[in-house]
Amino acid sequence: MMDKIEKFKLIITKNIKPLHSVIDSLTNEQKEYYYSFISRNYNQEEELTLLESKFHPNLQLPKQFRRLKKMNRKPKYIILHDTNCLSHRDESLSVINSRNTLGPIKINQILIEKRKEINYHFIVDKIGKDFEIISARPLQYICEFPEIRSDIGKQALHVLIASDLSINVPDKRFYDVLAYKLLAPMINVLQMPKNPKSTIIGHKDVLNKTIWDRIKEIFIKRPEQFRNLEQCPGSFLFFPLLHSTVQKYM
């Protein structure tokens, strides 16, 4: 019977020729990460895409663009998320580093969670030495978070910060980029309420307690789907500093 390593090398060698030379350089932990995907019920194409994503970080996903549920009200809120919001978390998404994390986020959202599109309008990612704002879901479509209060979630833009902010402390540059390039312009152009304190809020602060309690029960039965929404975003995102920085650029 073929063991895990041989099966893994066979898949890579046969189907993704540029990758076979790097397999031996992976740590045991990284190999186990891949094996966990092989053992799941993904089809062959999805397995290969998942493996390939580790070495080609920005794949063409989704394969086809589809119409989603439209936002029928002008947005009044901007809701911030971090990687605690993602299930099946890639450990590489938990730290701020210079590697583009858009690829793993696409894999998480579209292949693993089976979404038609990334469930955030914008992603804040550190690429090289600076933070960048990446457009994800088109603004005309709502992002669907059933655990968020419906009076807020459907009138909101959703921003994913590609880091676990319960572990990582963002620097001043992060606040400046987020405020100057995204938050202040969105508030001004879309004529959202001018008070950043009421307009820019965290995911954990707008949970519908009844629905969230039900979701937590599901997580107990399906721990692989766990999302730590009560830490989304983590406490190292300092909202008073963010609000004052946005106010400066409005």
Confidence at residue 19, expressed as pLDDT on a 0 to 100 scale: 41
Q: Averaged over 11-31, what is the pLDDT?
A: 48
For the segment 93-102, the average pLDDT, to the nearest whole number, is 59
What homologous superfamily is domain 77-249 in, according to CATH? Peptidoglycan recognition protein-like (3.40.80.10)
Specify the pLDDT at position 100. Answer: 60
Q: What's the CA gap between 143 and 71, in Å, rounded? A: 9
Computed on alpha carbons and rounded to an integer, the radius of gyration of the chain in Å comes to 19
- pLDDT, position 18: 37
What is the structure's pLDDT at 97?
53
Q: Are 245 and 179 in contact (CB under 8 A)?
A: yes
pTM for this model (two decimals): 0.76
Average pLDDT over residues 141-161: 93
Structure tokens given for 171: 């620097």
Mean predicted lDDT score pLDDT of the chain: 79
The CB-side HSE value for 123 (13 A sphere, CA atoms) comes to: 24
Which of 32-36, 64-68, 166-170 has the lowest average pLDDT? 32-36
- Least confident segment among 2-16, 149-163, 207-221: 2-16
pLDDT class for 66, splitting at 50, 70, 90?
confident
CA distance 46 to 41: 10
